[in-house]
Structure 1
Amino acid sequence: MNQTLQNDLLIKAALSQKTERPPVWMMRQAGRFMPEYWEIKNKYSFLEMCKTPEIAADVTMLPVDLLGIDAAILFSDILVTAEAMGGDLSFEQGVGPRFSNPIRSKADAENLAVDCLDKLQYVADAIRVIQQRLDGSIPLIGFAGAPFTILSYLVEGGSSKDFKRTKLLLNNEPQLAHYILQKIADVTIQYLNMQIDAGVNAVQLFDSWAIALSWNDYRDFSHYYNKYILANIKRSVPVISFCKGSSVFARMMAEANPDVISVDWNADLKNIKQALPAGIAVQGNLDPFVLYADKRVITEKIHQLFERMRDQNGFIFNLGHGIMPDIPFDNVKHAIEVVKEFRY
C-alpha cells in the first residue's frame, strides 16, 4: 500500500524497528466479548457476516472504535478457504464449525477445488471497505488458516479434542495427507496474495492445531507447507506466523522466514526472542485468562512482561491465543489502556 499510516507502530515492531512502546492488538478482538458484536450477530448468521463486506467491515471496526487498538484484523474465519474448495461449512451455536462432507477418501480429496479464488472475492471487497473506513489511521491485518489446521477440520468434520482421524490419515496414508495439504497450500498462497493486493498492511498465518503434532509430524505436515506459503506470497507486507505450540516449534518456524513469530503463553518470551535469528520479531504472549483477573493484576502482569522485554526491539503485545467470549469488556479495555500508557 502506498498509503501512509498515522499509527505505524505495528509495522515498525514487525520489522524489528525501535518503538516507543509495544503496539497492541488481540486475537479475536472483534468478537463475542462485546455486546455490540451480538447486536450484529443476532441479525445475521456467522457466514453472512463474513460474506457481506459492509457487515464484515462493521465488525472489524468495533475494536478500533471501542478499544483504540493499534491494528485492526479482518473479520473473517480461517475456514473460508476450505469452504471455497468445496467443504460444506456451517456454524452451529455452542458447537462451532461443521463440515457435512468430511474428507474420507482419495476421491473426496480429488474433489477439492484449487481454482476457487473467485469464491473468496467477498474478502477482497471487505478489505477495500475496511481500508476506506480506517483511512490510514492504523494497519489492517489479513490472515489465513495454515494447511494442517484446515486439513484437520476437513478430515474431522469440525473441531476435535484428539485429532484421531487426522492422525490416522498422517500415519496410514501420508501420501494422501500430502496431496490434500499441497492443494490447501496452493489455495492459501492465492488467497493471501489476493488480500495483499486488496490492501492489507500485514498478514498472519494461523496454525491453530499444530500443538496436536509431534516434532517430526509438525516438520513434515505443517512446517513444510507453511514454509512453502511464505516463500510464494508477495512479501511486500510483514508476515506473522502463529501456532498453538509456538513455544515448542518457534525455532523451526523461523526457518520459514516470517517477520514475526506469535508465541503462546507457555514460554518466556525473551528466551524465545533471543533463540531466534536476528530480525525476527515476536508477538504475544499474555495468558488470556489473566484478563478475567482484577484490573490491578492485569496491570502487574502486563508490566512484568514489558520489563522482561524492555531492551528488545521487535515486540508486539498480544495474547498467547484469542480472547474468550466471557472476558469482561472493561478488562480488555483496561489492558489496552495499560499498554498504551507504557513507555520504555
Structure 2
Amino acid sequence: MSTTLQNDLFIKAALSQQVERPPVWMMRQAGRFMPEYWEIKNKYSFLEMCKTPEIAADVTMLPVDLLGIDAAILFSDILVTGEAMGGDLSFEQGVGPRFANPVRTWKDAENLSVDCLDKLQYVADAIRVIQQRLDGRIPLIGFAGAPFTILSYLVEGGSSRDFKLTKLMLNNEPELVHLILQKIADLTIAYLNMQIDAGVNAVQLFDSWANALSWNDYHTFSHKYNKYILANLKRTVPVISFAKGASVFAPVMAESNPDVISVDWNADLLNIKKSLPAGMAVQGNLDPFIMYADKPVIKAKIHELFERMRGENGFICNLGHGIMPDMPFDHVKYAVEVIREFRY
C-alpha cells in the first residue's frame, strides 16, 4: 500500500520502519476548532454530515488542506455502530450524543441487531470519495469504537462522568454485559473489514472509556473483545489500538497484537515502547492541553518528546486524546509545522 502513497511516513512508522521524522496526525483533527468546520456544520446536523459521503469527504479533507498532516482520518463517529444496531441516536448541542432507547434489560440486548452492515454502507461510500480526493497524497485511517466504549453509551443513554449504570450492570449482570459486548464485537469486525475493503490504509480501534475500568474488569469486559476483533480483521493494513488508559493497560493491549498502541499522556512513552514486543509501534502522547500554551512552549514540549524518542523506530506523533473545540487553530497548525520541520 505504501508504494502508491506520495507521503508514506505514517505507514512506515506504523510498521516500525525507519523514517526521517515522526509522522503526525491528531485525533479530532477535522473538528470544531476549525472555522471551516462550522461553515459546514451550520448547514447540516452532525449525523447528516456523517451520512452524506460528499460532506464527510469535505470535512475529512479540511486538516489535509489546512494543517498539512501526514494521515487523514475518516470523518464519522464511533457511535454509528450503536445506531445501526438499533440505537435511537441524536447529537444535542452542548450535551453530546444521546441514545433515546438505552439498553438496560435482556430484552433490550436481544433486540440489538448484528446483521446490520447495510445500514453503514454510507461509510464505505465516504471512504471511496475521500480516497479519490486524496489521490494518493497521504494515507486514510478508518476506525470504530471498541465494544466496552459503545456499550457504555448504549447503557448510560449518552456520555457519563461516573459510568454508574454501566458498572452496576458489569457487577450485577455480567452475562447480560457479555451478550451486548459480543454483539458489538461481531458488528465491529464486519464494519472494520468493510472499511478495509473500501480502501482505508489503516484502522484504529477507539476504547475511549477504558480508563473507567479496574484492572480485572478491563481484562474481562474490554480486552477480551478487542483481542477477538483484532484476531478477525483482514490484516492487510496497519491496526492501531487506542485506549484512554493505555498508560496502564498497554502490556495487556499488546496481547491483541496491534501494529501500534496509542498512548495517553500519563506515561513516559519511551518506557511504554520498551515494554512492548519488538516491532510494535507507539502513537502519542502529547497532552492535548499543550495546544492552549504559548507557541515557544508548544515547540519545547514537542522537541522534548522527540528527543526522548530519538533512535526509536515505530513512533507516530499524536495527542494523548483529541483536540478540544476551543483550541486555537493557529496553535495546532504551528505544532504541525514544528513537527514537520524536525529531523532525526
Cα deviation code 1:116-157 (max 9, x no counterpart) = 000000000000000000000000000000000000000000
What is the distance in 1 between the residues matched to 2:219 and 2:144?
Answer: 19
Residue 131 (str. 1) matches residue 131 (str. 2): yes
Q: Structure 1 residues 76 and 284, CA, compared in 2 at 3 Å: closer, same or farther?
A: same
Q: Structure 1 residues 2 and 298, CA, compared in 2 at 3 Å: closer, same or farther?
A: closer
CA contact (8 A) 2:206 2:241 kept: yes
For 1:42, give the aligned amino acid: N
In the alignment, what sits opposite 1:89? 89
CA contact (8 A) 1:61 1:130 kept: yes
Secondary structure of the 2:7 match is coil
Q: TM-score, normalised by structure 2?
A: 0.99
CA contact (8 A) 1:3 1:136 kept: no
Secondary structure of the 1:155 match is helix
Residue 328 (str. 1) matches residue 331 (str. 2): no
In the alignment, what sits opposite 1:178? 178
What is the distance in 2 between the residues matched to 1:246 and 1:238?
Answer: 18
CA contact (8 A) 2:193 2:234 kept: yes
In the alignment, what sits opposite 2:289? 289
CA contact (8 A) 1:193 1:234 kept: yes
Taking the TM superposition and a 5 Å limit, the aligned residue runs for 1:196-235 are: 196-235=196-235
CA contact (8 A) 2:203 2:239 kept: yes
Secondary structure of the 1:143 match is strand
What is the distance in 1 between the residues matched to 2:269 and 2:80?
Answer: 31
CA contact (8 A) 1:145 1:207 kept: yes
Secondary structure of the 1:317 match is strand
CA contact (8 A) 2:2 2:8 kept: no
What is the distance in 2 between the residues matched to 1:34 and 1:2?
Answer: 29
| Residue 7 of structure 1, CA deviation | 0.3
Secondary structure of the 1:18 match is coil
Q: Runs of 5+ in structure 1 lacking a partner? A: none
For 1:339, give the aligned amino acid: I
In the alignment, what sits opposite 1:9? 9
Residue 187 (str. 1) matches residue 192 (str. 2): no
| Residue 319 of structure 1, CA deviation | 0.2
Secondary structure of the 2:318 match is strand
Secondary structure of the 1:97 match is strand
What is the distance in 1 between the residues matched to 2:223 and 2:327?
Answer: 32
What is the distance in 2 between the residues matched to 1:335 and 1:104?
Answer: 43
What is the distance in 2 between the residues matched to 1:186 and 1:239?
Answer: 17
Aligned sequence identity (%):
85
What is the distance in 2 between the residues matched to 1:101 and 1:317?
Answer: 38
Q: Structure 1 residues 154 and 48, CA, compared in 2 at 3 Å: closer, same or farther?
A: same
For 1:164, give the aligned amino acid: K
Cα RMSD over matched residues? Answer: 0.7
Cα deviation code 1:314-341 (max 9, x no counterpart) = 0000000000000000000000000000
In the alignment, what sits opposite 2:264? 264
In the alignment, what sits opposite 1:141? 141
Secondary structure of the 1:226 match is helix
What is the distance in 1 between the residues matched to 2:128 and 2:19?
Answer: 28
What is the distance in 1 between the residues matched to 2:291 and 2:328?
Answer: 8
For 2:178, give the aligned amino acid: H
For 2:90, give the aligned amino acid: S
Cα deviation code 1:38-65 (max 9, x no counterpart) = 0000000000000000000000000000
| Residue 3 of structure 1, CA deviation | 6.9
What is the distance in 2 between the residues matched to 1:113 and 1:210?
Answer: 24
Secondary structure of the 1:318 match is strand
CA contact (8 A) 1:265 1:320 kept: yes
In the alignment, what sits opposite 1:68? 68
Q: Runs of 5+ in structure 2 lacking a partner? A: none
Cα deviation code 1:16-44 (max 9, x no counterpart) = 00100000000000000000000000000
Secondary structure of the 2:4 match is coil
Residue 251 (str. 1) matches residue 251 (str. 2): yes
What is the distance in 1 between the residues matched to 2:230 and 2:2?
Answer: 22
Secondary structure of the 2:165 match is helix
For 2:100, give the aligned amino acid: S
What is the distance in 2 between the residues matched to 1:82 and 1:317?
Answer: 30
Secondary structure of the 1:57 match is helix
What is the distance in 2 between the residues matched to 1:172 and 1:133?
Answer: 49
What is the distance in 2 between the residues matched to 1:266 and 1:326?
Answer: 22
In the alignment, what sits opposite 1:104? 104
